[in-house]
Amino acid sequence: MARIAVVAGDGIGPEVVAQARKVIDAVLPGVDATEYDLGAARWHRTGEVLPDSVLTELAGHDAILLGAVGDPTVPPGVLERGLLLKLRFAFDQYVNLRPSRLWPGVPGPLASVKPGEVDLVVVREGTEGLYAGAGGALHRGTPAEVATEESLNTRHGVERVIRDAFARATRRERRKVTLVHKTNVLTHAGSLWARAFEAVAAEHPDVATEYQHVDAAAMFLVTQPQRYDVVVTDNLFGDILTDIAAAVTGGIGLAASGSINPEGAYPSMFEPVHGSAPDIAGRGVADPVAAVLSAALLLDQLGHADAAARVTAAVGVELAGRTPGAALRTEEVGDRLAGYATA
C-alpha cells in the first residue's frame, strides 16, 4: 500500500489538504499517510526549515502531498530555497507538471474561448536553469554592487524532460509538443534546448512539434490558448507560463502541480499552485479543487490511473454544477468530490 508523506503547511494548506486526503481515502482506501510539520509556522517556532532527518524520512515515502507553505512575515527565499526548491533538487524532481483545462462551468477571463476548448499541460524543467542557485554579489550595498544569477543547463537535464514531454504527448489525443525558449537571445542555452528537442522529436515522427519564443508564447496563451497541447520549457519560463495558463483557465485556485521524479528513485511531490492565502485561512472557505486535482496527479504517478481518472471526473462534475460567484465551504466541496469519485 502506498506510503504518503503529508505536508499540510500554513494558512489554507491544512484545510485543502484535508479534503485531498478525504478524496484519496475514498478512491483508494488504506493509503498510509504520515504528517510532517514544515513551513512558516515551524520556522517561526524553531528556526528550522527542513532538518536533514526529515529529508531522510521523506525520502522513504512513495509521494509527498503538500498544501501550501509561507506567510508574509517570512523573508523571501527562506522557504522557497530551503524547502520547496530543496525538495525538488534533492529528490531530482525534474518534471514539473502543470495541466490547465478550462472546465465547463468555470468562467474564464477570455471572451472568445469556450469551456472545454483549452486542455494543455506544461512540462516545466524542475532541477536546472536559473533555479540552480548559481549566483552572487560583489560590493553589496554600495554604488558598485553587481549581482549575478546564472542559468545552468545540461544536455542530461534538458533531454530527459523533453523525453518526458514527448512521452506524455503520445498518450494524448492531439500529440503535439511546443518547445518554448528564447533562442534568439539566450543563444547558448537556447541552442542546447533546440538541438535536444530536435533529436527527441526525430524519434517521435507521430508527434507534431513547434517552437515559440517565450514572449510570443506568453502572448498566444492569452489570445489562442486552444493551440497548445504539451508545452515543454525551462524552469523559469515554465514558472511564468503556467501562471498565465492558470489565469486563462479560471485562476490559480484551480491549478494543480506535480514535481515528479518519473523513475521513482525519489518521491514525487504534489501541491496546488496557489499559496497559503492567509487572508482567508481558518474560515473554511478555501476551494480545495486544486489540492484534489494535485491528489489525482499523485494517484496517477503511483500507478493508480483509474482512481486518478475518477477524481478528475469528480472535479468535472463539481465545477459543472457551480454557480459563478456563489460561496463555497471547503469541507462540503470535499464531501461532494469524495461522493462523485465513488459514485
| Active site amino acids | 131, 182, 215, 239, 243
Asked if 147 interacts with a copy of itself (CB under 8 A), we say: yes
110 contacts which partner out of a copy of itself, ligand IPM, none, CB within 5 to 8 A by kind?
a copy of itself
Query: From the list 156, 264, 282, 306, which residue makes contact with a copy of itself (rule: CB under 8 A)?
Result: 156
State which residue, 154 or 170, has the beta carbon closest to a copy of itself. Answer: 154
Stretch that binds a copy of itself, among 16-24, 34-42, 234-242, 324-332 (CB under 8 A): 234-242
Q: Which of residues 150-189 bind ligand IPM (CB under 6 A)?
A: 184-185
Contacts of 5 (CB under 8 A, 6+ apart): 33, 34, 35, 36, 57, 58, 61, 63, 64, 65, 267
201, containing H or E segment: helix 187-202
Q: Which of residues 170-189 bind a copy of itself (CB under 8 A)?
A: 182-189
**Inter-CA distances, 141 with 128, 134, 137, 144, 320, Å:** 28, 20, 10, 8, 54
How far from the centroid of its chain's Cα atoms is residue 333's Cα? 21
Q: Which of residues 211-230 bind ligand IPM (CB under 6 A)?
A: 215
All 3 cell numbers of residue 302? Answer: 503511483
State which residue, 170 or 187, has the beta carbon closest to a copy of itself. Answer: 187
186 contacts which partner out of a copy of itself, ligand IPM, none, CB within 5 to 8 A by kind?
a copy of itself
Classify residue 79 as exposed, middle or buried by CB count within 10 Å of its CB (0-12, 13-18, 19+): buried
All 3 cell numbers of residue 47? Answer: 528556526
State which residue, 212 or 312, has the beta carbon closest to a copy of itself. Answer: 212
Q: Which of 62, 237, 86 is nearest to 158 (CA)?
A: 237
φ/ψ of 301, rounded to 5, equals -65, -35
Stretch that binds ligand IPM, among 58-66, 78-86, 162-170, 199-207 (CB under 6 A): 78-86
All 3 cell numbers of residue 271? Answer: 501541491
| Calpha distance 273→43 (Å, rounded) | 21
The contact set with a copy of itself (CB under 8 A) reads: 76-77, 80-81, 85, 107-112, 130-131, 135-137, 139-156, 182-192, 195, 214-216, 218-220, 222-223, 236, 239-244, 246-248, 251-252
The contact set with ligand IPM (CB under 6 A) reads: 80, 84-85, 184-185, 215, 239
